[in-house]
Structure formats: structure tokens, C-alpha cells
Amino acid sequence: MASHIVGYPRMGPKRELKFALESFWDGKSTAEALQLVAAGLRASIWKQMADAGIKYIPSNTFSYYDQVLDATATLGAVPPRYGWTGGEIGFDTYFSMARGNATVPAMEMTKWFDTNYHFIVPELGPDVNFTYASHKAVEEYKEAKALGVETIPVLVGPVTYLLLSKPAKGVEKSFSLLSLLPKVLAVYKEVIADLKAAGASWIQFDEPTLVLDLESHKLQAFTDAYAELAPALSGLNVLIETYFADIPAETYKTLTSLNGVTAYGFDLVRGTKTVDLIKGGFPSGKYLFAGVVDGRNIWANDLAASLATLQGLEGVVGKDKLVVSTSSSLLHTAVDLVNETKLDDEIKSWLAFAAQKIVEVNALAKALSGNKDEAFFSANAAAQASRKSSPRVNNEAVQKAAAALKGSDHRRATNVSARLDAQQKKLNLPILPTTTIGSFPQTVELRRVRREFKANKISEEEYVASIKEEIRKVVVLQEELDIDVLVHGEPERNDMVEYFGEQLSGFAFTVNGWVQSYGSRCVKPPIIYGDVSRPKAMTVFWSSLAQSFTKRPMKGMLTGPVTILNWSFVRNDQPRSETTYQIALAIKDEVEDLEKAGITVIQIDEAALREGLPLRKSEQADYLDWAVHSFRITNVGVQDTTQIHTHMCYSNFNDIIHSIINMDADVITIENSRSDEKLLSVFREGVKYGAGIGPGVYDIHSPRIPPSEEIADRINKMLAVLEKNILWVNPDCGLKTRKYTEVKPALTNMVAAAKQIRNELAK
């Protein structure tokens, strides 16, 4: 019985690629040094899978930024502003598209389906001259082959690529991106020919858009695309891989009827209904790549249950046509549990990171072929039983408190207009108040202090003194810049979710459980293994300290319950809504303690609200109901004069704008500039928004410093659709990934632009 891995983490077990990328971007190392690190990581990954007995090993899943940007490079679809004149696309052009440079902004970045991973959105139009401009796929296939490892080259499918793209600036929004399919397929044919010539026998096309609710013309595009590619693919085994949700019934029919396709990969963890479709009819002689090992969470597989599922499918597709696989790429999990030295043995026995999931896949494949490892299965069953019965998982008082929430809507007693009036009397802010989102640059010295405190190399007194001084500097800087509502800069936090999880019960933490979010940015999601509560105040000390340094309003900075949920590895033994309600109660306690301490502006970030939206429309209303309700729970008890902010970023918010309004926050700051201000279109279309709103005026993920004229122009565009008395001026997101040499001039220009527009409005 064969085994397959959809994809694998790229950063390395200890973020080796992250550090190599940042060294290269900072000019401290060469392109050759970066490529050497990357080649070493790829070789290690391929060898690991080969040694574990995996038959179908992927190649071309490694990326220096993201796989969609890699596809853009392959197709030569470089926007003209980057000055690319042809030839093989190199690092300068590639990273300029991803990060921008001193003269031009980056391309838009958004979330990869409903994950915390991001991709660079292709900008296309009728004049794009597609050309084969990156040979990465065939080069990596040859690289693996030279190491003695036969792989399946993986490409982002042509239809998914177009469906994830957007019309370039200046192109009509109604332009049909699918009309570009013939031009795109011409390049795909060249790539396929190269892979054939190199000796590839399989090729994997990732087409995850097949799990969405697609209109008939989009489904037809898949039929047309693979019919056109069929002659080029002749002689190859072709796998179409889908993931993240159930396949709709009509789509299943289309997919399993595609020309020239040998195999179909399905997510059977998040797509349990797909099992029924398969049992209802599967094409004779085709392979089923059954994704029964979760590619998106870190819980050990229930091997007995997965084996039963596979045995049920075996009779439908045939023993020799069933391949055991992961539900999606393992990119979304941590790398290796072996590197976790501080997790206690009980919790560790419940977990499986990417390296362990490879072993699980192969163990299931062996069991199906009659070579079951009884000891491995027995240990797995014992771990499953331990988790179900552990007293650490369940807290009856927390469960009762969360259950009691369902009887109320949890809305503040006064409407937002009256609250804003009361808040303005207390805060006395100018028109177009300026603020930032929360974090300030995380310097090398600051990281050293936190690291040494965690390692017990400095005392708590020394740590507090260092953080206190950092907060003082950030406050002084903001006052010098004349920002209206200040933040303390979050120097005590390495990560916004990790920080809160460390102080809540029901959470566990890793040492090296890093997961890529975008580019070199990695996060270390906490593990929610049990019921959640707040033993003590989490932020009151630091917020009160920061407020003592200034007479200006100082935001209390919290992460909202839905974002904590979506940016954690969440327990899978109860509904996600139950866990979110528990977190909401904990954050509610913190909000009320901040208010008692005199903090009059409290920001509860829900950056990941949109990210968790189910991919299927039939499931979205239920999610938005409990997600928005959870946010309202956190601040239902505060006074009218306490201003509640929230923040969202790097997703498409237009389709959930009414749910955002229903959150009933006093002020929302929201990413806007990097996505070409598409957020503003909902207001142009007549959506009325009465609360405060701060669409971002510049992109913080690029080192580029925007001139004040550009920011002023953005503010004027906002004023064309929003009332001046509700508009705030702020960056797209937090500033932790930037340097002070970038932050100071950018914020200087932002404040200057706000003052310029204020003066113009006064006249």
C-alpha cells in the first residue's frame, strides 16, 4: 500500500530559512549563501520522507516566499512597475514583488483560504505577456533525483491560479481572469514538457479552489483546462489535489470526469462528507489519495479510526489504487516533536508534528497492506484514551459559565453614536485622530532581554526595568511624533497570541513549534488542550505603567477570542465555538480590569476573524454568529466612556462587512493600503458605517517609506466615502517587523498628512 505527503514545512526545524532570508535581505549574506541553506533543507526533507518509506514524495513545495508567487514567477506575470525585462526571474524581482522596494510597493498579500498562511496575489490583465520565466519546478525535481529520490513535482493548478488572482490596477474589475486560461496553459505545457524530459512520471496539480462553491462557468474552466493539457500530459500520471473542505457534489462529478487525470486527492479530515461521495461512485481504474492524517493540526492521529475509514474505501477503489495521504500540506503544522524538550510527557503523547505525521501515514499504509505495527497502534490507542480521560482537559465551572452565555445577545446598552459622543467629551481628540496598531519594532536588544529572562539569566527586577525603559522610549517617541492615541509598543510580547496563551489555563507551549505565516515571518501557535480560564490579570501592569508616562490616551492591547482560537492549534474534541466562548470570558475579565485601572481606550484585536470563515457558504452564517457574539461578550460590561477598538488585517473583508458592523466596536482599524484600498469600495456601494474606522494608510510589511503626499491622497480617498468625524489615521498593521529607521520617517509622514488634511478641512 502506497503513501503520499501533500507538502512539507519549509522553514526548517529551527527556522534556518527564516534567518537565511533575513540575512540576505539585510545585505549580510549572498544569494549563494541563501541558496545553500535552502538546498540543505530540501535534501533533508526528501531524505526524511524517503527513509520513512513514503512512496510519493513532493518536490517544488519549497518556496522562498510562497507557492503562488512561485507560480507568478514561472508564468513571467511580473507587474510592469518592477522593471523586469525578461529572462529567468532572479531574487531582486521576486522579492520586490513580495516585499516592495525603495521605489515601488509590494503586491497585495492575503490569506491562503482559511489558514494563517499568506500568499502574494497575482495582478493580471489582458496585456500580460505570459512567458516561461522560472524553471524552479524542474530544477528541484532534478535536484532530488540527483540525491536518489524520485519525487512528484507539485504545481499550483492553472485554474486555481487564475481564480486567486485579481485584475491589475487600471484593468476593469469586471475583466474575466479565466479568459487568460489559454495563455497560461501555453506556459504550463512548456513546464510539463521539461518535467517529462527530466524523467518525471507523476505530476501533482494543487487545485484547492475546487472545494469552494463555484459557479458553472468556473467549473467548466477545469474541464476545459485539463482537456487542453491532456495531450501534453500523455504518458504522465496526473494527481489533482484538493484540501481544506468537502468537495461539493457537482464539483466531485466534474473533477472525477476530467481528461487525462490519474488520481484524485481529498481532505477526509475537514471533508468527511466527501467519503460518502466516494462510496457513492468512484471512477474505475483511478487512484484515490485519501487524506486521513490532519495536515493542519498537531493532534496524534486516531489510527484505529483512520484505518477503519481506509478499509471502508478500499472496497470501493481497489486495494492497489488506494494511497494513504495527509489531508493537506504539512506546511501548516510544526516541524518535529523531537525538538520539544519542555512539553510534559502526557501532553506530548497526544501530539504529532510534521515528522511524526509522516510516520503515521506510513504506519497506516503498512497496516492496510497487512503489516500492522501492533506496538505502534497500541501506544496510539493508549494516548487517545489518556487524552479523553485526563482531568487536565475538563473544568466543570468553565463549561457551565460558557454554556450560560447562550441565553443573551451581549450588546452594550447604548448605541455607538451616543457612546462616541461620550468618549469624545472625555478624550478630546482632534478630527482624523492618529494612532498605531499596537507593536513597535522588536530590536535585537529587546529580544535578548526576553530570551535571557526566560532562560533565568537575568532577574525579574532586571527584566521589568528593561521593559519599562523600552515602553518609556516608545511613549516619548510617539509624543515627539505628535500621535494622538498611544500604544506601549508590546515589548514584553514575542507574539500576540502566545503572550496571552501563556497566562491562560488550558494552553500548552512549544520551544520550536514554529509555523510559517508569510515570507520569513514565523509564528509559534499555542496548543489549546483543555478548558480555558484566566487565573490572574495579564496586561494591567504594563498598560498602567505606560499610561503613567503620558497624559495622552494609552490603549490597552488585547487579542480577541476568535483570533486566539484561529491562531492556535485548537482541541478537536469539542466544537470550536465552545472553546471561543471560554476564551471570550477570560478576555472579558481582562477588559474590565483594564477599565478599573483607568485605561480608557482598549483594543481587542480580531485580526483573524475573516480567516476562520468556513469555505462553504452554507456554514458561514453559523460561524459569524458565534464569532461576532464572542467579541461582544468581551466588552459588554464597560462604560460608555470606555472606547473599544478592534483591528483586522490581510483578508477580504468586503463580504462580511455587515458582521463587522454587528461586532459593535467603537473604532475599527483595518488593513487597506496593500490591498489597493478595495475595502473602500463597500462604502462607495452604499454601506453605512457609523462607528469610528481607520483604514490603513500605508503598508507595514514593506521597507518602503511612503511620502506624506501619498498618505494624504489616501486620506482624501477615504473622506470621499466616510464622514470626517469617524475617520482615524493609522498604518495597516503593527510595526514589530520593521526597523526604527523605517518606522520614524513613515509615522512622521503619516502625522504630517493627517495635519495637512485637518488644516484643509478647517479652511
Q: What is the pLDDT of residues 256-310, one digit of tens each?
A: 999 999 999 999 999 989 999 999 999 999 999 999 999 999 999 999 999 999 9
Question: Cα–Cα distance between 711 and 146 in angstroms, integer?
Answer: 51
pLDDT digit string (tens) for 295-327?
999 999 999 999 999 999 999 999 999 999 999
Model confidence at 364: pLDDT above 90: yes
Which of 746, 565, 754, 562 is closest to 665 using CA atoms? 562
Average pLDDT of 565-580?
96
Extract the annotated binding site.
18, 116, 437-439, 490, 521-522, 567, 605, 647, 649, 658, 671, 733
Extract the annotated binding site for 5-methyltetrahydropteroyltri-L-glutamate.
18, 116, 521-522, 567
Average pLDDT of 732-758?
95
pLDDT value at residue 115: 93
Tell me if 239 sits within 8 A of 262, measured CB to CB: yes
pLDDT digit string (tens) for 173-228?
899 999 999 999 999 999 999 999 999 999 999 999 999 999 999 999 999 999 99
Tell me if 500 sits within 8 A of 559, measured CB to CB: yes
pLDDT digit string (tens) for 18-45?
999 999 999 999 999 999 999 999 999 9
Three-point CA angle 68, 736, 655, nearest 5°: 50
pLDDT value at residue 651: 62
User: Average pLDDT over the chain, rounded to whole?
Assistant: 95
Read off the C-alpha cell for 748: 512622521
Confidence of residue 675 (pLDDT cuts 50, 70, 90): low
Residue with cell 501533500: 6
Confidence of residue 497 (pLDDT cuts 50, 70, 90): confident
pLDDT value at residue 649: 78
Helical (H) or strand (E) element with 58: strand 57-59
Question: Cα–Cα distance between 562 and 564 in angstroms, integer?
Answer: 5
pLDDT digit string (tens) for 428-456?
999 999 999 999 999 889 989 998 998 89
Three-point CA angle 534, 537, 543, nearest 5°: 140
pLDDT digit string (tens) for 103-119?
898 999 989 999 999 99
What domains does the chain contain, in order, with CATH numbers?
A: 2-389 (3.20.20.210), 414-762 (3.20.20.210)
pLDDT value at residue 408: 84
Read off the C-alpha cell for 715: 486620506
pLDDT value at residue 703: 86
Can you say whether residue 656 is alpha, beta or left, with left for phi > 0 and alpha for psi between -120 and 50 degrees? alpha
Model confidence at 650: pLDDT above 70: no
Model confidence at 418: pLDDT above 70: yes
Model confidence at 674: pLDDT above 80: no
Tell me if 603 sits within 8 A of 614, measured CB to CB: no
Model confidence at 624: pLDDT above 90: yes
pLDDT value at residue 683: 74
Q: Say which range, 10-24, 594-608, 690-704, has the weakest mean pLDDT.
A: 690-704
Q: Is 701 a catalytic residue?
A: yes
Q: Which residues contact 548 (CB under 8 A, 6 or more apart)?
A: none
| From 4, 332, 488, 701, active-site residue | 701
Extract the annotated binding site for L-methionine.
437-439, 490, 605
pLDDT value at residue 678: 66
Question: Cα–Cα distance between 335 and 357 in angstroms, integer?
Answer: 10
pLDDT value at residue 274: 97
